[in-house]
Structure 1
Amino acid sequence: MSDINAILGPGVLVEHPNQPDWGIGQVQSNIGGKITVNFREAGKVVIDGKTVLLRIVNV
């Protein structure tokens, strides 16, 4: 599940599949499978990339 998360780097825009109300987020860092994302509506959130597969947003 974490394969796509492995390519996420700073600046990539993503959505959390289980939290659509958080809006689009921008990846801040991806270290050891812990992905820090700054979401428009939820602020900074640290996500375990082994349990959540983030979706890349194309704008």
Structure 2
Amino acid sequence: MNELLEPGMLVKHPEQPNWGLGQVQSVIDGKITVNFEQCGKVTIDGNRVTLLPVFDTDA
């Protein structure tokens, strides 16, 4: 699923719900940089964690 992520998309980290909503900043060679509401900018190894896309921010 991570291969479908693009900059600007909203995501959540499945193991860190307290980080809040995140916006994808970049996706390069399996490394995904996301700016989370409560945690700030984090680089995630897309081979180890599958981020959850968020399409409805009202839910």
Q: TM-score range by the shorter chain?
A: over 0.9
Q: Give the root-mean-square deviation of aligned CA atoms.
A: 0.4
Task: Give TM-score scaled by structure 1 length.
Answer: 0.93
Stretches (4+) displaced over 4 A = none
Question: Residues 1-59 of structure 1: matches in 2 within 5 Å?
Answer: 4-59=1-56
Give the aligned length: 56
Task: Give TM-score scaled by structure 2 length.
Answer: 0.93
- Which structure 1 residue ranges, 5 or more long, are not aligned? none
Cα distance in 2 for partners of 1:58, 1:30 equals: 18
- Which structure 2 residue ranges, 5 or more long, are not aligned? none
Question: Identity of counterpart residues, as a percentage?
Answer: 61
Cα distance in 2 for partners of 1:16, 1:49 equals: 11
